[in-house]
Amino acid sequence: MKKTTPHWIAIGLLVSILAAGAFKVIVLGNTEKAEDGRTSVLLEPAERQAVLGEMRMLLETTQAIVEALANDDLAAVEAAARPIGSAAIATVDFSLRAKLPLEFKKLGFGTHYAFDDIANMAKEGKPAKAIQIKLSETMNNCIACHASFQLPAATLK
Ligand code: HEC
């Protein structure tokens, strides 16, 4: 019977290619260095529009929460924050997720979870000031992500 020796070099190469692929998908996403020093996340036009639409929703939600807090209207705080909480993560499809770098996902998902916290604090009747502090901490995610990433248009290559 012919003895087959495993082709360790070929196996090693294959494993490194797979590891590099996994690193790219999980950590780097579909990115390149932008001219202004940030990282460009390269998306298809429809995906980019979906992300930017979600961004405008985040801004609207933030405004609604600031207004509701000023009016001491905790029901309105909860109503504004709840839809943009973790429930909104389910709408991000998997091919888009694969293009987002790990840091982007951490900041993005973290922001959705923070809105869950805000909705829960309002539901539990926490003081408006405490919710305001939570919102201001949450907005540090907006700042950090905008400082690191951009979404250039016309990225199909
Ligand atoms: C995970 C990263 C991330 C987080 C967190 C994030 N953003 Fe963004 N946002 C972006 C990127 C990237 C852009 C595109 C910026 C660019 O291309 O220069 C953007 C764009 C926007 C825009 C412009 C939308 C448009 O139509 O062009 C608004 C408004 C916005 N973000 C609001 C917010 C607010 C408010 C928050 C926090 C509550 C937030 N974002 C949190 C990444 C993020």
For 21-44, what is each residue's pLDDT tens digit? 887 777 788 999 999 999 999 999
Q: Is 59 in the pocket of ligand 1 (CB under 6 A)?
A: yes
Ligand 1 centroid from CA 69, angstroms: 23
Phi-psi domain of 40 (left: phi exceeds 0; alpha: psi -120 through 50; beta: other) = beta
How far does residue 141's CA lie from ligand 1's centre (Å)? 10
Mutate which of 56, 134, 145, 150 to test ligand 1's pocket (most atoms within 8 Å of Cβ)?
145
Mean pLDDT in residue range 78-107: 91
In angstroms, rounded to a whole number, what is the distance separating the alpha carbons of residues 32 and 134? 33
- Render pLDDT for 104-150 as a digit per residue (tens, 0 to 9): 999 999 999 999 999 999 999 999 999 999 999 999 999 999 999 99
Q: Is the pLDDT of residue 155 over 60?
A: no
Distance CA 65, CA 88 (A): 17
pLDDT at 17 over 70: yes
**Of all residues in the chain, what percent carry a pLDDT higher than 90?**
71
6 CA to middle of ligand 1, Å? 50
Instruction: Give the closest residue (by CA) to ligand 1 atom 26.
Output: 52
| Range 2-8 average pLDDT | 76
CA distances, 137 to each of 17, 81, 154 (Å): 40, 15, 33
Report the range of poorest mean pLDDT among 4-8, 62-66, 97-101.
4-8
The confidence score (pLDDT) of residue 1 equals 62
Q: Confidence class of residue 93 from pLDDT cuts 50, 70 and 90?
A: confident
Nearest CA residue ID for atom 21, ligand 1: 55
What confidence score (pLDDT) does residue 104 get?
A: 95
Q: What is the mean pLDDT of the chain?
A: 91
Distance CA 49, CA 13 (A): 38
Q: Which amino acid is at 86?
A: S
Would you say 146 and 104 are in contact if contact means Cβ atoms under 8 Å apart? no
